[in-house]
Chain A
Amino acid sequence: MSKVLEIINLSKIYGTGENKVNALDNVSLSIEKGEFVLIVGSSGSGKSTLLNMIGLLDRPTNGKVFIDETDTTNLSDNKISSFRNKKLGFIFQFSNLLTDLTVLENVLLPREIAGTTDSAEKNARELLKAVGLDDQIDKRANKISGGQAQRAAIARGLINNPSIVLADEPTGNLDSVTSEKIIQLMKSMAKKLNQTFIVVTHDRQHFGDVDRVITIKDGKAFEGNLPSEMGVLA
């Protein structure tokens, strides 16, 4: 297995002086291709900050993030955009589809941004079929349910065959039945496509067996589920 993500001594500090907050404190970890990884932790622990750093949505104060062995720390804004487009897929908590577009157009959007539209529509339709939305493709994104929107978001996250799919509380806004379905869908897609998923969640129990769990506490990352069993990640 190859490393798709390596984080070295990552820190993020917000504010200065007395208001200084160490959102992430010297976090180092690595994730292999195909792993389904959960990042858990209490509110304010720094898990979303970590996800933002991995997703290149925010820049770290210190440390480095390698994705597919590329150091992303000093990339220009345009290169970061291109990197996000080609190497990362995003699934967010709330409806994150563009409501002005149809489901199909939403899924196609990352390919259109990449400018690689060859067979894009065919791939998008296949993905939408795989997530069970083949009968919803021409509906406006605001005309489908929350669960369907998350399915479409998963399809959109996968359309560019990214190295990592990042999901930030993907079930946080769904009822338990729908949450279960979304979790199973993500896990099955991860297995089927050998796709790396990094999922930030409060909802550890619903995810059942996963490859790894990383707990974030006070900006530090620990391997494992329970505080008593945590071992600090080297």
Chain B
Amino acid sequence: MEYRFRLAKRMLFNKKGSLIGAVLAVTIGILVIHVNFVIFQGLFDAIVRDISNYRNGDVLVTDEENYIDKSDQALVNWFERIPYVEAATPRLSSTASINMTKFGTLHEKTRIPIVGVNPLRDIRASTVHETVSDGQYVFSRNSIVLGSNVARDLGGAQVGDSIKLKIVDRYGQDQIKRFVVTGIAKSPGGQGFDYSVVVHIDTLRDLMNRPGDTGSIMVKLKDPSKASDVKNFFLASFPNDGFVAETIEESAEQQLAGFRSGIAMINMIGYFGMMSSAFAIVTIQMMLVNGKTREIGVMRSIGATRKDILLIFIFQGMIIGAIGAGVGTAAGLGYTFYAKETKMSFNNSLPLEVSYNWEKIIQTAVLSFILAIIASLYPSYRATKLLPVEAMRNV
């Protein structure tokens, strides 16, 4: 083995306290990045996941003007012929006033978002039906699913209760219909329809006086990475219909933009943490150099050049970086695994969408390895500046 590397290794391993300290510094730096990634990227991805699962799908088709007047059946069938597509479903949205009399008291709520769904198609393209914690999803023309917050605001509406819904149709006329509550929806993190009500799309069309109109087509893909391809294919196939097709990143951009900059800031903090680790390595290695003055003097006196001394301490930086990167990555992966397996969430909020971003994992490990080497440059340089005669005074 190259003697400088062997010496670097021995010097380091014989100073276990310093080695552990330096390795811990690198490990903690990496762990901070991993924890930040798991929590904040996990939260971001969870929001994207829920928006995709509940509202926008992987591709969302709307109309430039207002409503899609083309047959939803035709569009859904068109999408479902594409091999990448899992399912597609039409949606229609509006707002409504709802009232309910409970124990002799009238409870009324206005401006409640109302979503019309095709129950048979919706359960294939969306998981919003899974958020129905009590009762069941919309199954008939007069059934309604209340968001948990709406149910609460209506004095504690329950499955089986009868409510009256009023909507203003396209001609400005009030349309009133009575529904039976068949389910209460509650989603972790509130990304579902907790503040909305869900009815059958045909019922909503009737109430809005918009027979055959659709607000949007929500398309769920087998492979979400093909969203752009599907979107482009769709737009190319319907160039003159005034459709707008967006991937989840585009359709949820407004909701995600703020979060994105938050993540960037958190990542910055993580990288600053890594920089602090580098300073810790500088300090520890300076201590190592100061503690090895005699050895440096002896080596210089028996012919080691400044370059030899420089390399010995840079090798130490490499060893610290390699072990730290290994341990830190292992610890980070352990934490990621734990978060993924336990479907980690905070305060019963939405479960984090934990993923292994191997590119980032490798990038972080390599970066910390390089930082450890960079951190060792100054102590190594200082070691080379020791004059043999000065160092030998300690002998």
Query: 5 nearest interchain CB pairs?
Result: A85-B303, A100-B10, A112-B3, A58-B389, A81-B305
Assess the B305–A78 pair: CB atoms within 8 A: yes
Q: A94-B395, A99-B295, A109-B302 are in contact. List 8 more A-B contacts (CB 8 A).
A: A57-B300, A58-B387, A78-B305, A78-B306, A81-B300, A81-B306, A85-B302, A100-B14
Chain A residues lying within 8 Å of B294, measured Cβ to Cβ, are 96
Interface of B is mostly: helix
Give, as a whole number of angstroms, the nearest-CB distance from B237 to chain A: 71
Classify chain A's interface size.
Answer: 20 to 34
Given contacts A57-B389, A109-B3, whether A96 and B395 have CB atoms under 8 Å apart is: yes
Query: Which chain A residue lies CB-closest to B10?
Result: A100
Chain A residues lying within 8 Å of B301, measured Cβ to Cβ, are 55, 57, 84, 90
Assess the B392–A92 pair: CB atoms within 8 A: yes
Assess the A98–B303 pair: CB atoms within 8 A: no
Docked complex: A88-112 residues within 8 A CB-CB of B: 89-90, 92-94, 96-101, 105, 108-110, 112
How many cross-chain pairs have Cβ atoms below 8 Å apart between A and B?
Answer: 73
B7 on interface, CB distance cutoff 8 Å: yes
Chain B residues lying within 8 Å of A90, measured Cβ to Cβ, are 298, 301-302
Number of interface residues of B (CB under 8 A): 24
Chain A 73-87 per-residue mask, 1 if CB under 8 angstroms from chain B, else 0? 000011001101110
Give, as a whole number of angstroms, the nearest-CB distance from B124 to chain A: 67
Question: Among A93, A100, A101, A113, which residue has its beta carbon within 8 angstroms of that of B303?
Answer: A113
Question: Among A82, A93, A98, A114, which residue has its beta carbon within 8 angstroms of that of B298?
Answer: A98
Assess the A82–B389 pair: CB atoms within 8 A: no
Give, as a whole number of angstroms, the nearest-CB distance from B334 to chain A: 33
Assess the B302–A110 pair: CB atoms within 8 A: yes
**How many Å lie between the Cα of A105 and that of B3 in the bound state?**
9
A156 on interface, CB distance cutoff 8 Å: yes
**How many Å lie between the Cα of A104 and that of B114 in the bound state?**
84
Chain B 299-314 per-residue mask, 1 if CB under 8 angstroms from chain A, else 0? 1111111111000000
Assess the B389–A113 pair: CB atoms within 8 A: no
**How many Å lie between the Cα of A90 and that of B303 in the bound state?**
10
Chain A residues lying within 8 Å of B303, measured Cβ to Cβ, are 81-82, 84-86, 110, 113-114
Query: Which chain B residue lies CB-closest to A86?
Result: B303
Give, as a whole number of angstroms, the nearest-CB distance from A110 to chain B: 5
